[in-house]
Every structure is written in structure tokens, then in C-alpha cells.
């Protein structure tokens, strides 16, 4: 698979991915130029705030691979992968990024790999809803972020430069999540992480599941092993 050097920026207005140049995050805000050029990529269909990925694959050296606007619901079918490959010492990576709310949803047989394949870097996050809420409804999601100085697999909220108000919530309602990240596999704004009851949480310091969990984060007990959330 080819490795590109740009970001795919989804537009709810036309249901297309536009090429983003120099996209990243500075002081917890999205930066870069979203061009008028439509990206020549296959495996997706957009309809307003709903983005459907079906056997979609994209790999880039940009710090953000896919950026979606506030309120986007991503429905994934088949086998999908979104990967960032970065070797920059100051890389601030967020592979799948929304500046606002984002929903991820798949069925029992669907797969979504989000991989921050950074060799060094400052920040490495696989999934990031920066100033919004993240909801995971179902599907098999693998989130990897392990090689930078600071890592998190699933992340929401702002802390230093922006005030997210009552946002920054992560609600995990279903699916099977496999997360390779430390020190935090999942981190929300203070007290705003919820894992629905009946989930089994494996290799986790804070909970082993079966009852609903509310807190700030989920951290792997053994950092060399994946943390899993299984419904």
C-alpha cells in the first residue's frame, strides 16, 4: 500500500475527502490547509454527517491521517485500516481526529485498525475527539499508540489551551476494543469516561468490568500487553 504525505479531510457538505496539507494540531487546535482537491481514494461513501468506510485503507506520513468535522458518525464495514507513519522527533500524531463530537459504529464482523506507527515523536494518539465527545457503539476496533513520549489509544477533551466545557466525554457502549497504548489506553476529561455495564475489561488497573465504569481513564496493568474491552 502506498504511503501518502497528506491528510484526508472529510466534508459533510459534499460527502467527499479533500486533501489537507500541513494538517496537525497546535495548542489543542486543528491547523493546516484543507484544499478544494478531492482525494483519489476508494472504499468510502459520504452522506452529510455519516461517513461509511468499507474495506478502506489509507496510510500517510502526515500527523493526522483522517480528520472529520464535529458531529460525524463513522460507520465501518469489512476490514479497514488508517495508519500514520512518522519518524519526526516533535510529531504530534492523532490518526483519526475530530475537533468535535464523533461516533464510531460497526457490526460484529467489521474491523477498524487505527495505528499511530510513530518511531519517536512527542504525542501519539490513535483516536482523538479533541473538543467534543466520542461514542463507540460497536464493531471490532484496534487502536495502537505506543512509541512516542506520551501515548494514548482513545482520547477526548482539552486541558491546557482550550476550555471544552462539559465536553470531553467518552462513552463505550458496545463492540470489542483492543488497545495498545501506555500509560493510558483510554482517557477522557475528568470523570467523563463511561464503559457500559456487561463489558469485560482485560489487563486493566481501574476495572475488570461487568458493572458500569465511570472515571478518567483506563490503564493497562501490563504495559507490554493489550488492554481489551469486550461486550
What pLDDT is attached to residue 88? 83
Which grid coordinates are listed for 57? 485503507
What pLDDT is attached to residue 4? 97
What pLDDT is attached to residue 89? 84
SS (H, E, C) 43-107: CEEEECCEEEEECCEEEECCCCCEEECCCEEEEEECEEEEEEEECCCCCEEEEEEECCCEEEEEC
* CB of 196 closer than 8 Å to CB of 186: no
What pLDDT is attached to residue 122? 82
What pLDDT is attached to residue 150? 86
Q: How far is CA 137 from CA 12, 72, 169, in A?
A: 21, 13, 14
Q: What angle do CA 159, 161, 162 make, to 5 degrees?
A: 75
Q: Which of 68, 28, 62, 16 is nearest to 156 (CA)?
A: 28
For residue 172, give the DSSP letter.
E
Each residue's pLDDT tens digit in the chain (231 positions)?
Answer: 799 999 999 999 999 999 999 999 988 889 999 999 999 999 999 999 999 999 999 999 999 999 999 999 999 999 999 999 988 888 899 999 999 999 999 998 999 999 998 877 788 999 999 999 999 999 999 999 977 788 999 999 866 556 667 899 999 999 999 999 999 999 999 899 999 999 999 999 999 888 899 999 999 999 999 999 999
| Number of other CB atoms surrounding residue 118 within 10 Å | 27
User: What is the dihedral sign for C-alpha 45, 30, 63, 171?
Assistant: negative
Dist CA 15 CA 27 (whole Å)? 28
Amino acid at each position: 500500500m502506498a504511503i501518502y504525505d497528506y491528510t484526508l479531510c472529510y466534508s459533510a457538505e459534499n460527502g467527499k475527502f479533500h486533501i489537507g496539507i500541513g494538517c496537525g494540531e497546535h495548542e489543542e487546535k486543528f491547523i493546516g490547509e484543507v484544499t478544494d482537491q478531492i482525494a483519489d481514494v476508494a472504499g468510502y461513501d459520504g452522506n452529510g454527517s455519516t461517513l461509511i468506510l468499507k474495506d478502506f485503507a489509507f496510510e500517510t506520513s502526515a500527523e493526522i491521517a483522517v480528520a472529520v468535522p464535529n458531529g460525524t458518525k463513522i460507520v465501518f464495514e469489512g476490514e479497514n485500516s488508517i495508519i500514520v507513519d512518522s519518524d519526526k522527533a516533535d510529531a504530534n500524531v492523532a490518526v483519526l481526529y475530530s475537533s468535535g463530537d464523533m461516533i464510531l459504529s460497526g457490526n460484529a464482523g467489521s474491523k477498524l485498525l487505527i495505528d499511530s506507527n510513530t518511531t519517536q515523536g512527542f504525542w501519539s494518539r490513535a483516536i482523538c475527539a479533541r473538543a467534543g465527545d466520542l461514542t463507540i457503539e460497536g464493531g471490532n476496533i484496534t487502536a495502537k499508540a505506543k512509541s512516542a513520549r506520551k501515548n494514548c489509544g482513545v482520547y477526548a477533551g482539552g486541558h491546557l489551551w482550550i476550555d471544552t466545557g462539559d465536553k470531553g466525554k467518552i462513552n463505550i457502549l458496545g463492540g470489542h476494543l483492543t488497545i495498545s497504548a501506555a500509560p493510558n489506553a483510554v482517557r477522557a476529561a475528568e470523570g467523563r469516561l463511561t464503559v457500559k455495564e456487561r463489558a469485560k475489561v482485560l489487563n486493566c488497573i481501574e476495572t475488570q468490568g461487568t458493572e458500569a465504569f465511570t472515571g478518567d481513564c483506563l490503564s493497562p496493568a501490563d504495559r507490554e500487553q493489550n488492554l481489551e474491552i469486550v461486550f
